[in-house]
Amino acid sequence: MSAFGLLTREAVQDAMRRRIVFAIAAVSVLSLMVVDGCTRCSTGEIVVNGQPQQLDQVAGAAGLLTFVTLGMWIILLAGVLAADHLQQSLEDGTASLCLARPLSRASFALSRLAGVLILTGITGAVLLGATGFFLATRGALALAPAALAAGTCALGAVGIAGLSMALSLTLPRLSCILVVFGAVGSVALANGLGLATHSGGGLLAAIDHFGPPLLSAMTLALAPWVPQVQIPGALPAVLARLVIWSLIGPAALVLAFRRVELGR
Amino acid sequence: MLALEMVGVTKQYGRRKALSEVSLRLEPGGALGLLGPNGAGKTTALRLLLGFCRPDAGGVQLGGLDPQDPSARAGVGYLPERLAVPGRARVASFLRLHAGLAGLTGACAERAVTDVMTRVGIRERADDPLAGLSKGLRQRVGFAQAFLGEPKLLLLDEPTTGLDPLGVRDAREWISRARERGCTVLVSSHLLSEVERTCDQIAILHEGQLAASGSLDEVVNEGESLEDAFVRWVRP
């Protein structure tokens, strides 16, 4: 196995040893139970704005909301886990010991990022996979949009985790986690407003236009589930911006880690 | 080509100068003892040699290369003052990881791990969690990881910390054996007797400056012990 592979395996094991993994597992199980419960209804009448609706008419919208909410939770999870995964190894000195070997800093930093992303990826695959499966089998929704949305979620997680890890090199752990919550929340709000109003100015509009389109990309990917709703925005352009952000995150991490003085 | 070289190196942390225009050189196969009281800059010198930080002025080379270049650190064994270990990892798995990072693979890595564990007397502890080991045993694990891959250069920071008298004696023997096979050694310590027994070159750092350097005979006057010379250089 290559040095990068060895370090990534170590980073995953390191992440698995942390107590937060139990919290993630508990939240994931609860989420699955909620999704299971919500997708079980098969008969009955739903009234929206005083108009009776058939279940299959609202299944798409409900499925989209569920999927996007879980996707945003996965992205947030990646950011929070990344907020101390590299920092921890710097504090306890394991980073110095590894970097005394013929190993580049980029390899080390990216292996820590990969460790976080593998753990997040497993959680995401279970949560989004099960949700997609329930929605497809019980709500008759197509799986392809779910797969595409899961892909955009993965790209968002890479970008946010990379940025969070880079930020953790300069900020204390708690501050970094708060910044991650604030940033992901702001992006979600900006994207949500952008999708709802498709207009406006100010900071939120700027975030929506130039920031990582975390929520917009997932929503646009799932647009085939709600054919009756016209969702503004072009998926290829949004995807391209998301890919750029998913590259910016790891690049920022590598650049920031090159400047860090080890072992102080 | 020199095994390691520092030329006019200055390193500052904020306003404090950890090293000031320090120059050191070590020929391949030599053994240099880096002496100095606490805070003299010994660990900073090692950090610079390993590329953990950059000097504010001057140059550092490891085997003729910039230590920031990963290939400069190939064939380097490093023992930090406090060995950092992943909490629940076990001795053998920790050593396997470092064997892999040192470039050893497959059966070769497994053989090297068994060999270093036997050499430092921790083979029967292979499956023990690192977190449960005593200071002395942990230091033995540190030596084991530093010896992986038969390094050409050993950088040892306070190597006898936590070792009992038998352990100290063993450590001296391990270092001597490494030297016999041509390994270059740099020992940073404030234990004068250890340095005197394992090194042929001495460098004394005091408040970030090189107070004295040379062979034992050059640094220590006739009729004087190394301790006397050390006190003379750091407390003039």
pLDDT digits (tens, 9 = 90+) for B203-217: 999 999 999 899 888
**Residues of B with CB below 8 A from A94's CB?**
84-86
Domain-embedded: residue B80: no
Rounded to a whole number, what is the distance in Å from the CA of A17 to chain B's nearest CA?
Answer: 8
Q: Do A101 and B52 touch (CB under 8 A)?
A: no
The three-class DSSP label of residue B26 is strand
Last residue within a domain, chosen from B151, B166, B185: B151
Which residues contact residue B66 at a Cβ distance below 8 angstroms, ignoring those fewer than 6 apart? Answer: B51, B60, B72
pLDDT at A196: 83
For residue B25, the surrounding DSSP H or E stretch is strand B16-26
Q: Are B42 and B159 contained in the same domain?
A: yes
Domain-embedded: residue B140: yes
In this prediction, residues A59-76 reach a mean pLDDT of 91
Domain that holds residue B124: 85-151
In this prediction, residues B85-106 reach a mean pLDDT of 88
pLDDT at A44: 62
Tally of domains in chain A: 1
The verdict on A91 touching B (C-beta cutoff 8 Å) is no
Size of interface A-B (CB pairs under 8 A): 79
Q: Tell me the C-alpha to C-alpha distance, in Å, between residue B123 and each of A90, B118, B139, B140.
A: 29, 5, 14, 11
Least CB–CB distance from A99: residue in B52, B145, B155: B52
Q: Are B7 and B67 contained in the same domain?
A: yes
In this prediction, residues B67-71 reach a mean pLDDT of 93
pLDDT at A234: 87
| Chain B interface test: which of A6, A89, A96, A101 (most B C-beta within 10 Å) | A101
Q: Phi/psi of residue B45, each to 5°?
A: -60, -40
For residue B100, the surrounding DSSP H or E stretch is helix B91-101
In this prediction, residues A31-43 reach a mean pLDDT of 76
The verdict on A6 touching B (C-beta cutoff 8 Å) is yes
- Residue % of chain A over a pLDDT of 90: 57
d(CA A201, CA A211): 14
In this prediction, residues A40-68 reach a mean pLDDT of 75
Domain-embedded: residue A181: yes
pLDDT at B59: 94
Domain-embedded: residue A200: yes
CATH number at residue B210: 3.40.50.300
Cα A45 to its chain centre, rounded Å, is 34
Structure tokens at A222: 């799932």
Structure tokens at B162: 């936590």
C-alpha closest to that of B27 among B4, B53, B11: B4
Top-ranked range on mean pLDDT: pick from A137-141, B169-173, B222-226: B169-173
Q: Are B61 and B132 contained in the same domain?
A: no
Tally of domains in chain B: 2
pLDDT tens-digit map of A135-173: 888 878 889 999 999 999 999 999 999 999 999 999 999
Which residues contact residue A33 at a Cβ distance below 8 angstroms, ignoring those fewer than 6 apart? Answer: none
The amino acid occupying position A159 is G
Q: Are B60 and B173 contained in the same domain?
A: yes
Q: Are B52 and B156 contained in the same domain?
A: yes
Q: Tell me the C-alpha to C-alpha distance, in Å, between residue A131 and each of A41, A92, A124, A141, A146.
A: 14, 39, 10, 11, 9
Last residue within a domain, chosen from B151, B177, B205: B151
Q: Are B156 and B236 contained in the same domain?
A: yes
In this prediction, residues A45-60 reach a mean pLDDT of 71
Domain-embedded: residue A46: no
In this prediction, residues A10-32 reach a mean pLDDT of 83
pTM as predicted: 0.90
For residue B137, the surrounding DSSP H or E stretch is helix B135-147
Domain that holds residue A167: 3-10+53-258
- CA quadruple A58, A64, A67, A69: dihedral positive or negative? negative
pLDDT at A100: 94
